[in-house]
Chain A
Amino acid sequence: MKQGLFPRVVLWAVMLFLLGPFIIVFLAGFSGGETLAFPPPSYSRRWIVSVLQAEEFRQAFGTSLQIGLLATVIALLLGVPVAYAMSRMPPPGMAVIKQVLTSPLIIPAMLVGLGLLRHFVLLVDAPVFLGLLIGHVGLLTPYAVRVVYSSLANLRVDIEEAAITLGATRLQTFRLVVLPNIRGAVIAAFFLAFVTSFNQVPVSLFLTGPGISTLPIEMLGHMENSFDPSIAALSTLLVLFTMAFVLVTEKVLGISKYM
């Protein structure tokens, strides 16, 4: 087929629109100046180095990583069985259940954060880390359910019956037959959930507390107080971190097939 000029122009326009902001942030991150400005007056690595050495950012990064990984794993442990039950033994009122499981995607996350703060953290005086973790688990579980459910809905039931007639228990069937065939979806759900948690602001805003903060919240706080290029430098590092994460996962597991 002859390729027209128009689709290529659109493609490049969209690419520019998507990547443009990042290019600006990227260049600003290597600024040699004292304030956030574009184009930067000069280039250096000083803000990159300073961000890497900043204790508050390192701690927040650690918290974000911990919350992200823990919440993702818990969300999958909850979400995969729920998705399995939904696909294999659809309970009465399936439509309602689907709606409820999607609601955190619809309800503004800020409400979720506020609600958790008012009615859980303040009420029982829960530790900050626990509050954050629960907030994130609640936020991520629907992602896990959705992604895994759509994969399970496409997996034939007769292979499970075949495994059972060959002598497998329900649990063995799930482990030996179901899980290997939805592996891609589970990995995709893991990735989606982790990135969502890692970039989460509205829920975390209410649930972070003295001494414990996630990276996006720390960055927000920093921006309110100072206007130096360290935020741009940090953003650059984060984008590189996420890209590396995506590339490695893609190389090792080939997730793009499932997303």
Chain B
Amino acid sequence: MSYLNLQQVALGYGNARTAVEGLDLAVQRGELISLLGPSGCGKTTTMRAIAGLIDLRAGRITLDGRDISRLPPNKRDIGLVFQSYALFPHLNVFDNVAFGLRLRKVPAAELRQRVEKVIAAVGLSGFEARLPAQMSGGQQQRVALARAIVIEPKLLLLDEPLSNLDAKLRVQMRAELRRIQRELGITMLYVTHDQDEALAMSDRIVVMNSGKIEQLDTPEQLFNAPRTRFVANFMGFENLFDYRHGQLHGAAGQLPLAGLPANTACAGWRVQQVQVGSGPYEGRVLSRGFLGEHVEYLLQTALGEVRGMAPAAQASAREGDTVRFDLPVQDALALAA
């Protein structure tokens, strides 16, 4: 049996419709697993249910072999890092981090040593006496992390912890989080709507949509072999078309394409897989964007809108020009019905 198990979990708020339904999830000890999906897909709701902040409507959650479905949140030993950090504004860094240990009546000497060790691990030594309001977002983020890991939780939940940081710091903190997770061997459930973040950090990724799991896979599998249209779109297959009887069906019309497996229901290409400049099809340039080595095109075609690329050296077409393009069959992502 896995370390963390969700079995047929259903969740919702108040009288509203269920936000999550029939969710099954198994997480191994020491794993970093991401819940990835657009806002409103149920990922944060799921995380809050694991923490015990909302009640289950149905189903069961077990952690380390114990049923925690009815256990109050303060007895679960689950750390939670909030998107908003949720630091205690009246306490300084040391006291924020020490909060959980004081509740556990850890002796003063051990408490000081453990708190200082964790503060050092997140790179905030020397900031112990600062109040949250006197720190930057990135520093507050580290305090929130330190506060959650110092109690050595059985499970660490992170709710979009990096979304309030600027782009550069976000990339830096990804590596940092990953390092801390490896060093402590802590099991981590990471909620995010940013696929780059999920791909870069996770052992496995759960893609959620409308309260259900679309696909659970390793980052490589998810990126290269998405199994549903939704996941394919989320993983960058922006050109997705229905496929029937050797024809691609788009919003505007059809184009013939031979060579896809017979059971294909949907075919997809990333922007960089669609070659603009040569090929069997024609389209009119709606807009172009210069990306350095490449130029990205938005084309109006018989299918509807198609996004493609051309090497910058050969990209002479302007808005309004008619260009040729190809949807290479060997690169196509073919989704069965």
Partners in one complex: yes
A residues adjacent to B (C-beta < 8 A): 156, 158-159, 161-169, 172, 176-177, 180-181
| B89 and A166 contact, CB distance less than 8 A | no
Per the bound structure, the CA–CA distance linking A156 and B147 in Å amounts to 18
- Whether A168 touches B103, Cβ cut-off 8 Å, given contacts A161-B80, A161-B82, A162-B80, is yes
| A164 and B73 contact, CB distance less than 8 A | yes
| A159 and B74 contact, CB distance less than 8 A | no
Given A161-B82, A166-B99, 13 more pairs with CB closer than 8 A: A159-B86, A161-B73, A163-B88, A164-B73, A165-B51, A165-B53, A165-B148, A166-B74, A166-B79, A167-B77, A167-B100, A167-B151, A168-B74
- Whether A165 touches B74, Cβ cut-off 8 Å, given contacts A159-B89, A172-B103, A181-B89, is yes
| B86 and A156 contact, CB distance less than 8 A | yes
**Would you give 11 A-B contacts (Cβ < 8 Å), ordered by A?**
A158-B82, A159-B87, A159-B89, A165-B51, A165-B53, A165-B78, A166-B79, A166-B147, A166-B148, A167-B104, A181-B88
Interface centre among B74, B90, B100, B147 (most CB of A within 10 A): B74
Per the bound structure, the CA–CA distance linking A161 and B76 in Å amounts to 13
Which residues of chain B have C-beta atoms less than 8 A from A156's C-beta?
84, 86
Query: Within the complex, which residue of A164, A176, A180 is in contact with B74, where a contact is CB–CB below 8 Å?
Result: A164
Q: Looking at the assembled complex, report how far the CB atom of A254 sits from the nearest CB atom of chain B, in whole angstroms.
A: 14
| A161 and B53 contact, CB distance less than 8 A | yes
Residue on A nearest B100 in the bound complex, by CB:
A166
| A162 and B82 contact, CB distance less than 8 A | yes
Residue on B nearest A169 in the bound complex, by CB:
B74
Interface centre among B52, B80, B84, B88 (most CB of A within 10 A): B88
Which residues of chain B have C-beta atoms less than 8 A from A158's C-beta?
82, 84, 86
Complex interface residues of chain B between 120 and 155 (CB less than 8 A to chain A): 147-148, 151
| A165 and B73 contact, CB distance less than 8 A | yes
Chain B 52-96 against A: per-residue CB contact (8 Å), 1 yes, 0 no?
Answer: 110000000000000000000111111110101011111000000
Q: Looking at the assembled complex, report how far the CB atom of B120 sits from the nearest CB atom of chain A, in whole angstroms.
A: 20
Which residues of chain A have C-beta atoms less than 8 A from B148's C-beta?
165-166
Per the bound structure, the CA–CA distance linking A172 and B88 in Å amounts to 14
Which residues of chain A have C-beta atoms less than 8 A from B86's C-beta?
156, 158-159, 161-162
Per the bound structure, the CA–CA distance linking A172 and B102 in Å amounts to 11
Contact size range, B: 20 to 34
Which residues of chain A have C-beta atoms less than 8 A from B151's C-beta?
166-167
Which residues of chain A have C-beta atoms less than 8 A from B87's C-beta?
159, 162
Residue on A nearest B80 in the bound complex, by CB:
A165
Per the bound structure, the CA–CA distance linking A26 and B79 in Å amounts to 63
Which residues of chain B have C-beta atoms less than 8 A from A176's C-beta?
99
Which residues of chain B have C-beta atoms less than 8 A from A181's C-beta?
88-90
Per the bound structure, the CA–CA distance linking A180 and B88 in Å amounts to 10
Per the bound structure, the CA–CA distance linking A167 and B82 in Å amounts to 16
Which residues of chain B have C-beta atoms less than 8 A from A180's C-beta?
90
Per the bound structure, the CA–CA distance linking A168 and B104 in Å amounts to 9
Per the bound structure, the CA–CA distance linking A148 and B100 in Å amounts to 27
Q: Looking at the assembled complex, report how far the CB atom of A181 sits from the nearest CB atom of chain B, in whole angstroms.
A: 6
Q: Looking at the assembled complex, report how far the CB atom of A180 sits from the nearest CB atom of chain B, in whole angstroms.
A: 4
Per the bound structure, the CA–CA distance linking A180 and B131 in Å amounts to 14
Q: Looking at the assembled complex, report how far the CB atom of B95 sits from the nearest CB atom of chain A, in whole angstroms.
A: 10
Which residues of chain B have C-beta atoms less than 8 A from A165's C-beta?
51-53, 73-74, 76, 78-80, 148
Residue on A nearest B132 in the bound complex, by CB:
A159
Per the bound structure, the CA–CA distance linking A176 and B90 in Å amounts to 10
Per the bound structure, the CA–CA distance linking A51 and B104 in Å amounts to 58
Residue on B nearest A173 in the bound complex, by CB:
B74
Which residues of chain B have C-beta atoms less than 8 A from A159's C-beta?
86-89
Which residues of chain A have C-beta atoms less than 8 A from B99's C-beta?
163, 166, 168, 176
Which residues of chain A have C-beta atoms less than 8 A from B147's C-beta?
162, 166
Q: Looking at the assembled complex, report how far the CB atom of A167 sits from the nearest CB atom of chain B, in whole angstroms.
A: 4
Per the bound structure, the CA–CA distance linking A238 and B228 in Å amounts to 79
Which residues of chain A have C-beta atoms less than 8 A from B89's C-beta?
159, 181
Which residues of chain B have C-beta atoms less than 8 A from A172's C-beta?
103
- Whether A162 touches B78, Cβ cut-off 8 Å, given contacts A167-B100, A167-B151, is no
Which residues of chain A have C-beta atoms less than 8 A from B104's C-beta?
167
Q: Looking at the assembled complex, report how far the CB atom of A153 sits from the nearest CB atom of chain B, in whole angstroms.
A: 16
Which residues of chain B have C-beta atoms less than 8 A from A168's C-beta?
74, 99, 103
Per the bound structure, the CA–CA distance linking A102 and B61 in Å amounts to 45
Residue on B nearest A157 in the bound complex, by CB:
B86
Which residues of chain A have C-beta atoms less than 8 A from B78's C-beta?
165
Per the bound structure, the CA–CA distance linking A169 and B72 in Å amounts to 9
| A166 and B82 contact, CB distance less than 8 A | no
Per the bound structure, the CA–CA distance linking A156 and B90 in Å amounts to 13
Residue on B nearest A179 in the bound complex, by CB:
B90
Query: Within the complex, which residue of A161, A162, A167 is in contact with B103, where a contact is CB–CB below 8 Å?
Result: A167
Which residues of chain B have C-beta atoms less than 8 A from A169's C-beta?
74
Per the bound structure, the CA–CA distance linking A169 and B82 in Å amounts to 19
Which residues of chain A have C-beta atoms less than 8 A from B75's C-beta?
167
Q: Looking at the assembled complex, report how far the CB atom of A183 sits from the nearest CB atom of chain B, in whole angstroms.
A: 8
Per the bound structure, the CA–CA distance linking A161 and B47 in Å amounts to 13
Which residues of chain A have C-beta atoms less than 8 A from B80's C-beta?
161-162, 165
Which residues of chain A have C-beta atoms less than 8 A from B77's C-beta?
167
- Whether A167 touches B84, Cβ cut-off 8 Å, given contacts A159-B89, A181-B89, A181-B90, is no
